[in-house]
Copies of this chain bind each other. A is one copy, B any other.
Amino acid sequence: MPVSTSKRDHIIHSALTLFAERGFDATTIPMIAKDANVGAGTIYRYFENKEVLVNTLFQHYVALFTDTLEKDYPQERSIREQFHHLFQGMVRFTNEQEHALYFIKTHNAAYFLDETSRESFERLLMILHNFIDEGKKKKQIRDLPSKALIAIIFGGFLELFQRIRAGEIEESGELLTGVEESCWDAVRHH
């Protein structure tokens, strides 16, 4: 554990892990405190309350994910290349932030998310939306509702990585290439 890692970072990291593993409601403040090696009261020095904590966390990781997808986005390249970029971004994000994507997956419709959190998630979906829409305009993506296509690839991808994380499937370059092809076939125009 590097010296520079602040208590706030420890708290965020522990909260992310526990929320991903047990869910918001089943995670108690003492659990987070113990895992982060801080006093329970310390958490309240950094976050007004548990809901603020989960919203801060959600927005933080959604923004990180959004950044990952937007970074070096090949706007001028082919749809297929854009798809590859997005897929690679998901893979990279999952590997860099072990629990973040699963946390986002399991909490994006939760009752305790505030307006800002919902908006940040919308912005994330917007990236996929724009990609889908452009692909449909170019007749390279199926003519199905964009939200349906997003649901299929996003849902499929998240489920897959949950299984990988759970150790049920072994991650490999070959697997990822195959899965990317599979997802692409799900959305591309035939």
Contacts and interface: CB of A to CB of B under 8 A. Distances in A.
Interface stretch (A56-64, A80-88, A180-188): A180-188
A175 B145 contact: yes
Nearest to A21: B111
Nearest to A154: B159
B147 A151 contact: no
User: What's the dominant secondary structure at chain A's contact region?
Assistant: helix
A43 interface: no
B178 A182 contact: no
B186 A156 contact: yes
How many copies of the polypeptide does the oligomer hold? 4
A160 interface: yes
A159 B152 CA distance: 7
B179 A111 contact: no
Interface stretch (A5-13, A92-100, A161-169): A161-169
Nearest to A142: B182
Given A142-B178, A148-B179, A185-B188, 18 more contacts: A23-B25, A24-B26, A109-B166, A144-B179, A148-B160, A151-B159, A151-B163, A152-B156, A152-B179, A152-B183, A153-B156, A154-B159, A155-B156, A155-B158, A155-B159, A158-B159, A182-B187, A185-B185
